[in-house]
Amino acid sequence: MRRVAVVGVGHTNFVFNSPKSGMELLSEASMEAIHASGLKPKDVQAIFCGNVLGDFSEGQGMIHSYLADDIGCKNVPAMRFEGACASATMAIRDAYMWVASGFYDIVLAGGTEKATAMGTSLATRTFAMFSDARYEYPSGINFPGIFAMLAHLYSRKYGIPLQRLKEVMAQVSVQSHLYGMKNPRAQFQKEITAEQVLKGFMVSSPLQLHDCCPFSDGAAAVILASEDVAKKLIDQPIYFAGVGMASSGKLSSQYKYLPRLRAREVAAKQAYDMSGVKPEDIDVCELHDCFSIASLIAAEGLGFAEFGKAGELWENGETRIGGKIPINISGGLKSKGHPIGATGASQVYEIVRQLRGDLVAEGRQVEGAKIGMVDTLGGDGVIVNLILCAN
Amino acid sequence: MRRVAVVGVGHTNFVFNSPKSGMELLSEASMEAIHASGLKPKDVQAIFCGNVLGDFSEGQGMIHSYLADDIGCKNVPAMRFEGACASATMAIRDAYMWVASGFYDIVLAGGTEKATAMGTSLATRTFAMFSDARYEYPSGINFPGIFAMLAHLYSRKYGIPLQRLKEVMAQVSVQSHLYGMKNPRAQFQKEITAEQVLKGFMVSSPLQLHDCCPFSDGAAAVILASEDVAKKLIDQPIYFAGVGMASSGKLSSQYKYLPRLRAREVAAKQAYDMSGVKPEDIDVCELHDCFSIASLIAAEGLGFAEFGKAGELWENGETRIGGKIPINISGGLKSKGHPIGATGASQVYEIVRQLRGDLVAEGRQVEGAKIGMVDTLGGDGVIVNLILCAN
């Protein structure tokens, strides 16, 4: 298989209640990525889209084909991937294979979502379709409830009193906003304090308002190219070093394993084995912080901390620029926003820019970053997608 | 890239109002395919699913992951593809690439749908989301309306009076039922006459009841393997010879081209070029007869007849066993049924069995068939997926 590079990236602002449709958002991100790659739409050989709620929120399925026609990629093969929050990384991982195999030289992959128009309550109900609808959703569980339960399990398993865990989780959200305020694409560009987090209204105990990411509208896209094409197009291709994906089915199928999430650990082994990279080699990581507790679980599953110890990373500043493993320097889902089907592409966008050294002007560059990791969680641990990139 | 074979296939009955869920249906088809391949679930390295309406009809997204866990393919990578009616062939074409590239040796690909529980009217509205939701659906168009319009355009462009065209189209439906009555998996196992077709109630002029396929519940699945693995598993692998896929966006983007559908013609060129196969080499074809007029348009787009002349194939019996190009010997969507996200996998199931010579006992074997084609249309020409197989 051939080496594959990202040659251009695009990203809309992440906002509440965008006046644009999901397709218009993805068109905007796609055209930015195409132009950044020195290409024209007619150069794109195939399109890979992540989108979750398009049919529900806008009555539009099959956006891949309409997108292709709208942006001038006439008659190209186009596909839509659904893996809940991991939809866009699913699309990107798949696009990687079609280029690595030699079948295509230049493809567009990304994701989009309009999640806010239906309002938070309906969105929460709608999104619960991406948990198990046979046994688990009917028992009254939704996503805030699931992650609250994981927080309780985390507290008990690792002997961390709940109030202490809440203080640790608050540090996760505080850091996300600290960097999100420097990200011009972020939904919330403002600082928050630990005190604000701990005074936030209770969403699902122990998770308070600022432990939860928002719903958002937005899109992101990347252009993938074979190594030889990439070198002709741009000076600084960022290469795929490894990919990993695993599933785990309904949450209760791993009830003895929780709060660890088996899919992430299986996917991480795949990505590390394929790339030869170790957790300690990673210079910057975007991980799936849909809730503050999810960040701790992810950091441990990826091998950045011992199980039960990830809180120390945040409390000691090791997840900040200059620390041992800078995490979510984009602001993460919490501050940058979480347009579900776009989130994975947004994470890849961020890592590519970090590895290029593009973020100096925004005051949030991880200096000399050479290896970056993207971690996207679909649903309640149902799918985990990992992408490792290197410059 | 490596040669890739289908080593086992599975198929549920296609029915109205199945008591099983979409996932249970796909589990049934998947286990049949796994056992037919001489494999166990733990041998499957990845899962590729087509599914369109699962969130709407059952409140369940992300079925790929739940399926994997349910059938014992623990923690495998799993993906869902949406391309309306072409979802399952999208999944299968994609699975083909992951094996051809050398990344996986054995994968499961298929599709499932529960389309009947919501009733035909709501299903028709819901399914209209897979036409253009910005301009075309709001103008009052739904799928029967779109294909009725194509029939009018066909009549006018090729100078075939509408009443005459209706008689030709009736022959398409009559033949579908003729073979469907011999298919034990088919939803309608009964003969119909041209007179019945022409007396059916008007759905959308000129399309009457029997010009339209039904909504159905069902699933189908296939196991793909690399050539070396396939040869160890079974005696008679059926190989992929070529694939093709193209998109076309909203129907009005090709209004001057209609009733021809550009996506099919682009996809056909890809599949023919890749395989070196010509239309006249094809021994048996399953094509997308969502409406009787769609069969004529498909047969011409695939190169089996001159434009405007496909009706002669059906009227002269050339599409029957023993004819020039046997088409839809399964009964097609019209008689076998059309569980949207499963249809493409059902077509591949049929072609693989034809190429193996499995259908003698059912009285519908195309003797000595060596090359078979699958044609799946997603939406109103929005996506076309072609798969060529050879024994």
Note the pTM of the prediction, 2 decimals. 0.98
CB-based contacts of A36: which residues, under 8 Å, 6+ apart? A7, A8, A9, A10, A223
Q: Which single residue is written with the structure tokens 């923690």?
A: B75
CB-CB contact of A34 with A224 (8 Å): no
Q: Which of A85, A285, A290, A389 is catalytic?
A: A85
- The CA distance from B186 to B9, in Å, is 16
Is A64 an annotated catalytic residue?
no
Q: What is the dihedral of CA A183, A185, A188, A190, to 10 degrees?
A: 30
Q: A238-269 pLDDT, tens per residue?
A: 999 999 999 999 999 999 999 999 999 999 99
Tell me the one-letter amino acid at B322. Answer: G
Q: Is A322 helix (H, G, I), strand (E, B) or coil?
A: coil
Task: Please list every residue in chain A whose beta carbon sits closer than 8 Å to the beta carbon of residue B77.
Answer: 245-247, 267
Kindly tell me if the per-residue pLDDT of A71 is higher than 80: yes
DSSP H/E element including B162: helix B162-180
With 0-12 / 13-18 / 19 or more C-beta atoms within 10 angstroms meaning exposed / middle / buried, residue B119 is: exposed
CB-CB contact of A311 with A165 (8 Å): yes
A-B CB pairs within 8 A amount to 168
Kindly tell me if the per-residue pLDDT of A282 is higher than 90: yes
Taking alpha carbons only, the member of B245, B287, B284, B278 closest to residue B262 is B245
Taking alpha carbons only, the member of A238, A269, A270, A272 closest to residue A370 is A238
Task: Please list every residue in chain B whose beta carbon sits closer than 8 Å to the beta carbon of residue A45.
Answer: none
User: Which pLDDT does position A37 carry in this prediction?
Assistant: 98
Q: With an 8 Å Cβ cutoff, are A76 and B246 in contact?
A: yes
Kindly tell me if the per-residue pLDDT of A382 is higher than 80: no
User: Which pLDDT does position A118 carry in this prediction?
Assistant: 85
With 0-12 / 13-18 / 19 or more C-beta atoms within 10 angstroms meaning exposed / middle / buried, residue A35 is: middle
Q: What is the DSSP string of B274-332?
A: HHT--GGG--EEE---SBHHHHHHHHHHTTSS-TT-HHHHHHTTTTSTTSSS-B-TT-H
Q: Which single residue is written with the structure tokens 């068109």?
A: A27
User: Which pLDDT does position B386 carry in this prediction?
Assistant: 84
Q: With an 8 Å Cβ cutoff, are A83 and B83 in contact?
A: no
Widest distance between CA atoms in chain A: 58
Supply A237's token pair.
């291709």
Q: Which single residue is written with the structure tokens 């230049």?
A: A106
Q: Which of A64, A177, A288, A338 is catalytic?
A: A338
Supply B13's token pair.
């009955």
Q: With an 8 Å Cβ cutoff, are A75 and B263 in contact?
A: yes
Supply A95's token pair.
């696009």
User: Which pLDDT does position A390 carry in this prediction?
Assistant: 85
Per-residue pLDDT of chain B (391 residues; tens, 9 = 90+): 999 999 999 999 999 999 999 999 999 999 999 999 999 999 999 999 999 999 888 999 999 999 999 999 999 999 999 999 999 999 999 999 999 999 999 999 999 999 998 888 888 888 888 999 999 999 988 899 999 999 999 999 999 999 999 999 999 999 999 999 999 999 999 999 999 999 999 999 999 999 999 999 999 999 999 999 999 999 999 999 999 999 999 999 999 999 999 999 999 999 999 999 999 999 999 999 999 999 999 999 999 999 999 999 999 999 999 999 999 999 999 999 999 999 999 999 999 999 999 999 999 999 999 999 999 999 887 778 888 888 8
User: Which pLDDT does position A123 carry in this prediction?
Assistant: 82
Percent of the residues in chain A that have a pLDDT greater than 90, as a whole number: 90
- The CA distance from B105 to B191, in Å, is 43
User: Which pLDDT does position A228 carry in this prediction?
Assistant: 97
Kindly tell me if the per-residue pLDDT of A381 is higher than 80: no
